[in-house]
Every structure is written in C-alpha cells, then in structure tokens.
A and B are shown apart, each in its own frame.
Chain A
Amino acid sequence: MIEASAAAFVELHGLDELWFQVAGTRCNLSCSHCFISCSPHNDLFGFLSLDDVRSVLVESIEWGVREYYFTGGEPFLNPDLVEMLVTALGYGPVTVLTNATVLKDEWLLRLRAAEEQGPFSLEYRVSIDGPDPQTNDPIRGEGTFERAIRGVEQLVRHGALPIITMARTWPDHRDDEVLGRFRDVLRQHGCNRPRLKILPRLKLGAEVERTEGYADWERVSPGMLEGFDSTQLICSHSRTVTDRGIFVCPILVDQPGAWMGESLAETDRPFPLEHGACMTCYQYGAICTNPSSQFHGQAGETDRGEGGR
C-alpha cells in the first residue's frame, strides 16, 4: 500500500517537442478506440486560434523547442490550420497528425510550397488502423479505409511521404505480417516508399468502452524508475497546448490532474506518473514521437574528455 501512494515523478528535461491540439476534441470521425473520445459532437476542447498558436511559437523560442506537432481531433477541421502550419514552418520542423479524409489539393499545394521555402520537414502522419477495411473499418467507421487510402494517394501526388500509423489491435507477434501486408497495399496505391509506425493501444477514452481500461495495478511506481531512462517518456521532453491551457502530454489531456498551467514557464515542473497510460509509455517509450527524433538504448549523456591538444 505504501508503494501505491507514492507517485513516480518525471521532470521536464527540456522542451524538445511542442504539441498543439488545434482541433480540440472535434473530429469528423468517431473511432471506437479514440483515447480522447473525439467526435463531431465532442466540444470538451475547442479549436486553437491562429493568434494562440502564433504567441506560443514566439514563447517557444527561448525554450529551444526542436519541433512542433499539430493534432486534434482532426486538425484539418480548423479553418486556420494551413496558415498555422505555414507559420510554424518558419520556426522549425512540423508534423501534422490527420485521418486524411478531409484533405484539399489547394491546401497541400500551399503546404508543399511553404516547406520548400525553408530547411524544415513537414511530416504528415496518417492514421489507418490496418492494411484492409476488415481490420480498419470496425474501429474507424464504415468506408474509412477507402477514404483514408484516397487521402494517402493525394498526399503522394503532392510529393509527400506520409507516415502511416496504426493502433495495434492484433497480437504483438503478428506485427511483421501486418507491416508486410500494409506495405504491399500502399505500393499498390502509388506509395512506393511506405513508412509505417505501429502504436500501442491506449486504454483511455472510447477505448475503455470498446475493450477495457487500465487495471489498478497498471501504475508506474517510483521503484520502476530506478535505472530507467525517463527521457524515453514524452512528458520528459514535451508539453501540449490546448484552448484550455497547457497539459502534460497529448495522451492525458482529458484526464484529471494533467493540466499544468497557462504559460510554458508554469509547466516546467515534475509530473507524477499516476495514470494507467503512463504504464504504456513506460513499456513502449516515446510512442507519439516521429522515428527520426527517437533515441533508444543506453547511449547516454556524454562525458567530456580533453583531447586534441
């Protein structure tokens, strides 16, 4: 019992990634596994305005933020999204997480042009939950596999190399087979350099209804952090901006206790890993980060030597 009452705290090592929940909890889809229960009717979190985004971008400079992520809900429902992405590309690399069902050619043209203006990557991450409608549609809705694949084709036509992310709804040992099949499917649709990323399920929000929530014992205890590289956790290097303030991470926005403040400075304090979802991060690492920005293994902080006399 003593163990359970003491929380494990994680410090903000550095603000490497800044998340903008630009569409709040508003989405054109209502996936049955959505960990923040987004839907056309969920108004818990609203849209961020262009001014909100601009002022946080300015504030982010002194924090040395490396890259910016835009998420929702469905970010492209926010009428200012394209302008936001263009603005953010003036500050650093940008990633947008989309279901790819509402994309417009004119937006993609403008975004490609903006990307070419500077040195930074604009990454599109497209959620499709399996290589076929049979796997995807029961979760994301009738016809969504087809629609998302059209979106991927559209992105490829505009010169993008989308990263397809899928939430794992199959046993771990089938990963290779699923990845192989998905690669073939994407090639058939003109995406000849398929980039795929499997995400663990987060047992929060709508997913709790679909399957189950976290059990009481699924908690990270202080002892578990001993010898553990906590820089693997998103909360050690990021924060999430919403219309209701700044939260610890993109995963817990609608969970109690995840609100950290109104300015970035207020959120520079340790966070207690009291949530079941923290266990998923503990097991899988920085699940929300792009592969190009992840580091694994124990290669650690560098010790300095004197050489090169």
Chain B
Amino acid sequence: MKLAFFGGIYNNYLALEAAIADARRRDAQDLFCLGDMGAFGPFPDRVFPLLLEAGVHCVQGNYDESIGNELPDCQCGYTDPRDNHFARLSYDYTLEHTSPDNRRWLQRLPGAIDCDREGLRLHLCHGSPRRTNEFLWESTTSDAFLDRLIDETGADLVLGTHTGLHWQRRTGQGRTFVNVGVLGRPANDGRTSVWYTLLQIQRGGRFSVEFVPVQYDHRRLAREMQQEGLPAEFVETIESGWWTTCLEVLPSRERRRGRH
C-alpha cells in the first residue's frame, strides 16, 4: 500500500492542491499532513477546504497550536532578530486571516498520530516525537539520538516535518526517521518545486520511502503574495527556490547548501 505525507503547507494552497492530485495519481490510499498549515503564503483559509475534501489526516504543528489558541507567536523558536521580524509579519497576517471556525479546527488537531499498516508501526509527529517545535536537522541529529527518540514511541518508523528540509535515515539499530519535507516553500535548493513523501509498504512491513517534487503554479502564488502585501523576501524564495529568511537556525551543512 502507498501512503502520502505532506508537511508545512504555509498557506500554499496551490502546492497542496497539486500534491493531492499527484498523490492520487500515484494511488496513495491515505493522505497525511504533519502540520503547520499557516505561515509565509497568502489566504490561509483556502487550505482547509482542500484538506477536508481530500480527507487528509492531520497532526497539529506549532503554528497550528499557536493560531488555534491565538497565542502571541508562532513558537518556531527563532533566536535571531531578523528571523523573528519576518516570523512576526507572517504570523500576524495568518492569524488575522484565519476564520474562527478554522482556528477551532486547528486547536482540536492531535499532537501526534500512531497507526499500524501491514504490521509496520508508524508514529507521525510535527517536530520530534518529544516536542512539537524541536528541529531535527539531518546534520545535527546523531543516530543514537534518533534511536532514543524512536524507542520511546514504540514505533518502527517516525515521520516529522517542521524544519522545511526533507531527509531520512535508517539507524544502525534498524529504526527509521523521515522528515517528509514541506509543501509551503522550496527546499533551499534553487528549484521552485516543493516536496512531499510517498511511503510504500509491502505485506510483512517492508517499506520504501520516496521524496516527490511537486511543480505548481508558483508564479500565481508569488503574484498573490505581492497583492496581499507579504514581504518581498518571501516572494523571492518562492520564485528563486532559495531561502531568504529563517536562516539563522540552520546548521552549517544545511546553510552552506543554500545561497544566502
């Protein structure tokens, strides 16, 4: 069977629409979203009908917890003043443009989902199994640490998002972590496509992971962001594929791969 995992929508309803269609075309039986519906892009309310219509099972991200409970900030945990400045702009915009009904829906999402497919035990979370807003970067996460985190969930496979960059690792102990990537903005690789993850599970629990690039109408998104008065820096990322903000939380390996 095939399962599709989306992460970090960041209001990018155009990419979500394209990813849902792509996953259906590839016969994904179930669709999941690991949270952070809002941020960055335009028109937050356009994401929700798509998720509901497609029956996407959703986990609550830090952004969703914040918007749902009208907290003062997004809890992304930036430490740099410039990063925080931009985080504030998109948070205020998203909070203001998310309807009360959608906020209530976000508020009620589960912080994690445990499920079993073909004997494979899955744990779906947002940041890490122990903390919604913990960054698990590829270059700052040891195997021993992954083993500890995954062990505590009792699962074989843990999936998360939150950092914006997709990666996977199977530890020496045979446990697997997958960061499913985000649909909200490109992966800081100079390409305009965004990424989601397909998990193929065979009977007996053997599985394979595929990262899938999604092309969508990014020009339209960029136009709408401009019309909504969102920062030019955000628009540049959508058009160029390079991150221009939230850079100070990147470890050096991930930072070096980008342009800024």
> Measuring CB to CB, which residues of chain A are less than 8 angstroms from any residue of chain B?
14, 16, 60-67, 91-93, 115, 119-123, 159-161, 175-176, 179, 193, 195, 197, 290-309
Contacts and interface: CB of A to CB of B under 8 A. Distances in A.
Contacts of A16: 145
Interface of B: 30, 32, 57-59, 62, 65-66, 71, 73, 75, 77, 79-81, 109-115, 124-127, 129-135, 137-145, 147-149, 151, 169, 247-256, 260
Nearest to B69: A298
B249 A292 contact: yes
Nearest to A115: B253
Contact of A119 (B110, B132, B139): B139
Contacts of A115: 253
Given A60-B144, A93-B142, A299-B65, A306 B149 contact: no
B144 A119 contact: no
Contact of A307 (B73, B110, B248, B253): B110
A119 B135 CA distance: 16
Contacts of A295: 77, 127, 131, 133-135
Contact of B252 (A66, A160, A176, A300): A160
A122 B132 contact: no
Contact of B140 (A62, A121, A303, A307): A121
Contacts of A161: 252, 255-256
Nearest to B109: A305
Contacts of B80: 291
B81 A91 contact: no
A205 B120 CA distance: 54
Contacts of B169: 119
A66 B125 contact: no
Contact of B133 (A63, A175, A293, A299): A299
Contact of B129 (A67, A302, A305): A302
Contact of B131 (A64, A91, A299, A309): A299
A179 B253 CA distance: 23
Nearest to A61: B144
A302 B132 contact: yes
A301 B130 CA distance: 6
A305 B79 CA distance: 30
B141 to A, nearest CB: 6
B132 A305 contact: no
B112 A303 contact: yes
B248 A66 contact: no
Contacts of B144: 60-66, 91-92
Interface-central residue, B32, B134, B260, by most chain A CB under 10 Å: B134
Contacts of B143: 92
A160 B256 CA distance: 8
Nearest 10 pairs of A and B residues by beta carbon: A305-B110, A64-B148, A92-B142, A302-B111, A297-B75, A66-B145, A299-B133, A121-B139, A299-B75, A308-B57
Contact of B115 (A92, A291, A308): A308
B148 A302 contact: no
A278 B169 CA distance: 37
A257 B252 CA distance: 36
A305 B109 CA distance: 8
A292 B137 contact: yes
Given A122-B252, A292-B249, A307-B115, A64 B147 contact: yes
A65 B81 contact: no
Given A295-B127, A299-B77, 11 more contacts: A67-B140, A120-B140, A121-B140, A292-B249, A293-B135, A295-B131, A295-B135, A297-B73, A299-B133, A304-B114, A306-B115
B131 A306 contact: no
Contacts of B253: 115, 119-121
Given A193-B260, A297-B77, A304-B111, A65 B142 contact: yes
Contacts of A296: 75, 77, 79, 133
Contacts of A179: 81
A179 B131 CA distance: 30
Contacts of B131: 295, 299-302
B158 to A, nearest CB: 12
Contacts of B145: 16, 64-67, 92
B67 to A, nearest CB: 12
A290 B251 contact: yes
A304 B109 CA distance: 10
A131 to B, nearest CB: 15
A303 B107 CA distance: 13
